[in-house]
Amino acid sequence: MWRNAFLLSLIFCFLINTGCKETPEKTSPDRLHAIGNIDLYTFSSDDRYLLSSAQPFPLSADTSLEDALTSLGNYLSESYFAIENTDSGSKILFEVVEIYEIPKVPNNLRVAVINMIDRGRHGMNYFFQGSTGGQTTFCILGATFMQPQLATPLLDGLIILYNGEALPELDHINLSGILTPRLFKYVANRAIFSTRMEAI
């Protein structure tokens, strides 16, 4: 009950800030549009620039938005959030809870709620500690799920839950509320550009 009230209040604030007065709708399976022919990327962490090694993440053009987010979350679980010497029960996973579509001209806004499932609470110990570690995790999550380098990002807003609850207040980053693509656009584009330059 609390979680639903929290999510609705975040969406309401998002609507007020974007000037849209219509009620958001949960995207139904028949309205989950295929992502189309777009270039998705995954990123590695970088101590200096936060993100590096932008690698193409090919998905079929007819992949639904929910399936694309699930695939990106699975990739994060197996790469950046992989922790050695832990059993599979304490692995960090990502679950797409809901996708809201908010009517707006010319394109509807899409806001996803993604739950970071961390039964062992390893994320708080390994990924959200310190200013560099926290900022890198912030950028990895935002850039991977929203793909801000695209002319029309994969998502217009992202809400990250931690074990089904709002993330606790952290010293170095703010993952509460609705994250927007512009927060991550510069670091994602820089990582993609740098990776292309290194390949020449």
Would you write out the chain's pLDDT as a tens digit for each of its 200 residues?
Answer: 555 555 555 554 554 555 444 444 444 343 357 999 999 999 998 888 889 999 999 999 999 999 999 999 999 999 999 876 556 557 899 999 999 999 987 888 999 999 999 998 888 888 877 666 778 888 999 999 999 999 999 999 999 999 999 887 776 677 778 999 999 999 999 999 999 999 88
**Residue 41 resides in a domain:** no
What pLDDT does residue 3 have?
A: 57
What pLDDT does residue 46 have?
A: 86
What pLDDT does residue 69 have?
A: 98
Alpha-carbon span 175 to 166, nearest angstrom = 9
Task: Return the H-helix or E-strand segment holding 50.
Answer: strand 50-56
**Whole-Å CA distances, 82 to 87, 101, 116:** 11, 31, 13
**Residue 189 resides in a domain:** no
What pLDDT does residue 54 have?
A: 94
**Whole-Å CA distances, 198 to 48, 115, 140:** 16, 35, 20
What pLDDT does residue 99 have?
A: 97
What pLDDT does residue 86 have?
A: 58
Domain enclosing residue 79, as ranges: 2-35+60-184
What pLDDT does residue 181 have?
A: 97
Q: With a threshold of 0.75, does the pTM exceed it?
A: yes
What pLDDT does residue 91 have?
A: 87
**Residue 40 resides in a domain:** no
Residue 4's identity, in one-letter code, is N
**Residue 134 resides in a domain:** yes
Alpha-carbon span 51 to 140, nearest angstrom = 7
Alpha-carbon span 91 to 72, nearest angstrom = 16
Q: What is the total count of domains within the chain? A: 1
- Cβ count within 10 A of residue 93: 15
**Residue 138 resides in a domain:** yes
What pLDDT does residue 77 have?
A: 95
Burial (CB count within 10 angstroms: exposed 0-12, middle 13-18, buried 19+), residue 199: exposed
